[in-house]
Structure 1
């Protein structure tokens, strides 16, 4: 390399354009990390070399938010604006020379999406596709999408989805569906077996009463599945009065499953039956059926009881405040809670005296627990006893995990006296504890920290750390 070029490459001299010396492969990688096509195009001002390099980047992000606002204001020009949008996108695609689209994100109307997808899928390969349709639109996707051999990630958000009769996605590894329950009931069990390489599945279902009047039986039988998320949520008042009740039964047979996330905010009897989750590593449960004071809640509680027992192989477990309150009610019922012999890390939302009561009971079922996180998040609908006893009731015997295995405790907020007493109990009886971290947000919690720091300790090597946390506003 000549001396002049070497100096330029090393950034010596005045007004040197160091960016221009980067290889194209590195520039493509940098631009591919940007969130939208608009941001990628604007990087052209950074360097003369970057002026047109965006056309070679394998990402496209198309959102007609501006057009959508115009259409709402001038409804009579709807078709013309739709045509203008498609023409604009076609011009942009004409300049887009990259043979394979790494990531394509569309947030536009159904007809426009179909037009654009038909063209792109016919001319190029797509590996990562995200499509968000407007409310009450039928997602009409081209048939070529459902037989793509290059598609690896597919994320769809829509109310209604029309699927092809021919489905074969051999390379698909990630599938996210945010959709109405009617599609899950009618099509999903036929869809999943045609994705032989699927590793991650996320299903979000909503608006149950308005669109479906039948129970749901869903079988997820995927040998390659590693991550699974399930959400069943109603829209506020659709179950007002608690008279509406559906049963949704989900059976999972996934011997490689490592991560499971369940959120259920419905009135229905919810069960998770599993014949193949012995390799489960991490599980998160947020369970809150709509309470009906006129009907017995025992079947709902026992359903949750069985769900928790199915998670006994997990190494990491997180339970929301609503989940804990319902589980605490199940302890007085006949039945046996399984021992979580593999559990190493536990996160509990202990807001409210009932949830602290659950903590005292549940620790005896986690004999090998090493890490404990106690959150204190007051959630909407979370019951807090107005006649709060303000005291901690320790278990009858010190749990084995507290005596011999608990190494670290993280406390996020201290609002009541019984919470302080619970932490002091753990600190006093934990013989191998290395660290207790308390995240404080106000002066009251600082006083609680001082009280805890003076408490006796079961481990001579333990340290107490105070961290100040402030909510971003």
Structure 2
């Protein structure tokens, strides 16, 4: 070993135990345990970690048969590994216990309850469980130390799972549940809950009611149910600040006193009933920030008197964009994805010349996040730059295949567009896509990391 390597090794070994524990707690538990083979000094260092992050979900669809064979041969080692990791853990307060097990690991299910019980005995604060299971030990739902809980349970033979009859989580502030059949069972069971994410499915026989006075952040994933558009999602959340709605819009929203609402995001892929779009937007007309994806509407938009930031993701036509601009007189920031400006010529001349009020007095920032440089994009930029009178910054994120650095003609064409605002600055950025993740598997015996 070189002297430089020895010095680095000495420097690491000289760090206080709590610092080393924090470093190892940032790693997946498997890697943290492997440091025990470095030297005698490191043999038991990992046992003081405060995070136990155990992920056994690695698989690739194109190699299902190979991976299934690989998984079946290692389940026993994996069970031994988790058993020993929990047994040797010296900390009395585990900050995070994360357990993710893929669909192939059916034999592991019988051990899950014991592992979760062990984590609860270690005064766990955050639980993140994604397993093949349709029930969990009662200790999860009566844990006095839990502040964050994420549950995603599934089983091939079951449509969903249910909360037990006994639930009380006095310190829980964040709850994320997937695949639960009775989410309303949490009412009154989490007295300090602030953040909630859950799936809801409505039918015409029973409305979905959510009554949580302490809630500040809410995400609802709407599943397609048997509703004919007459069902209701009733929200009694007087302190709510942010609302996210995703999925299939098939119910009315009833919200009592949403004056505290600051921002909302709607990403419903479709709705069988156009009037439900108008209904939910009317309920959200007081928000300051709004993000909408894949929105299809025929009804007039409400006025958003407090709107400061609007994000439109997906593909938007000229008429839809201008309707939103006309409905947001105080808008300052516009973030937009793809534009379809082909209907621009179809507008009546006097209609197309009307300039929304926000473009005359308030709109200072535009972010065009997915510019292809085609005719529609150029028409959009010509309209916005030529009419926004107080615009300060336009940032154009071009698709990677446009390669702004190698296509100065595109930049020059945009820079030649007349601007209504003399102080407008145009910035160009390349929007790079993340590289595809390669699948790798590691057939190392998990149990070998232990002496």
User: What count of residue pairs does the alignment treat as equivalent?
Assistant: 409
Matched, 1:330 2:299: yes
- Alignment match, 2:290: 317
Q: How does the TM-score come out when normalised to structure 1?
A: 0.76
In structure 1, the residue corresponding to 2:208 is in which secondary structure?
A: strand
Matched, 1:307 2:280: yes
Query: Which region of structure 1 is more displaced relative to structure 2, 53-62 or 390-399?
Result: 390-399
Deviation at 1:230, TM superposition (A): 1.0
State the Cα deviation string for residues 116-141 of structure 1 (Å, max 9, x = none).
223443x321110111122xx42x21
Deviation at 1:86, TM superposition (A): 4.2
Instruction: Note closer, same or farther for the CA distance 1:356–1:154 as it changes in structure 2 (3 Å cut).
Output: same
Contact persistence 1:201–1:227 (CA under 8 A): yes
- Alignment match, 2:47: 55
Contact persistence 1:228–1:261 (CA under 8 A): yes
Cα distance in 2 for partners of 1:112, 1:70 equals 24
Contact persistence 1:392–1:422 (CA under 8 A): no
- Alignment match, 1:6: none
Residue number among 135, 138, 144 corresponding to 1:143 in the alignment: 138
Contact persistence 2:373–2:398 (CA under 8 A): no
Deviation at 1:470, TM superposition (A): 3.2
Instruction: Note closer, same or farther for the CA distance 1:461–1:21 as it changes in structure 2 (3 Å cut).
Output: same
State the Cα deviation string for residues 72-121 of structure 1 (Å, max 9, x = none).
5599x99xx87765444322222111111111112344432112223443
Deviation at 1:417, TM superposition (A): 2.5
Instruction: Note closer, same or farther for the CA distance 1:351–1:426 as it changes in structure 2 (3 Å cut).
Output: same
Cα distance in 2 for partners of 1:306, 1:244 equals 16
- Alignment match, 1:345: 309
Deviation at 1:16, TM superposition (A): 6.1
In structure 2, the residue corresponding to 1:42 is in which secondary structure?
A: helix
Matched, 1:131 2:129: yes
Matched, 1:455 2:417: yes
- Alignment match, 1:417: 375
State the Cα deviation string for residues 424-445 of structure 1 (Å, max 9, x = none).
2221222221111112224498
Contact persistence 1:279–1:313 (CA under 8 A): no
- Alignment match, 2:244: 261
Instruction: Note closer, same or farther for the CA distance 1:457–1:157 as it changes in structure 2 (3 Å cut).
Output: same
In structure 2, the residue corresponding to 1:456 is in which secondary structure?
A: coil
Give the unaligned 5+ runs of structure 1.
Answer: 1-10, 291-296, 332-336, 378-383
Deviation at 1:282, TM superposition (A): 1.8
Cα distance in 2 for partners of 1:395, 1:28 equals 63
- Alignment match, 2:117: 118
Q: How does the TM-score come out when normalised to structure 2?
A: 0.80
Matched, 1:226 2:209: no
Instruction: Note closer, same or farther for the CA distance 1:407–1:392 as it changes in structure 2 (3 Å cut).
Output: farther
Instruction: Note closer, same or farther for the CA distance 1:231–1:132 as it changes in structure 2 (3 Å cut).
Output: same
Cα distance in 1 for partners of 2:429, 2:56 equals 44
- Alignment match, 2:443: none
- Alignment match, 2:438: none
Larger relative contact order (CA 8 Å, sep ≥ 6): 2
In structure 1, the residue corresponding to 2:91 is in which secondary structure?
A: coil
Query: Which region of structure 1 is more displaced relative to structure 2, 47-56 or 420-429?
Result: 47-56
Matched, 1:407 2:407: no
Deviation at 1:250, TM superposition (A): 1.4
Give the unaligned 5+ runs of structure 2.
Answer: 102-107, 155-159, 436-451
Cα distance in 1 for partners of 2:97, 2:206 equals 32
Cα distance in 1 for partners of 2:373, 2:206 equals 41
Deviation at 1:65, TM superposition (A): 4.6
Instruction: Note closer, same or farther for the CA distance 1:424–1:204 as it changes in structure 2 (3 Å cut).
Output: same
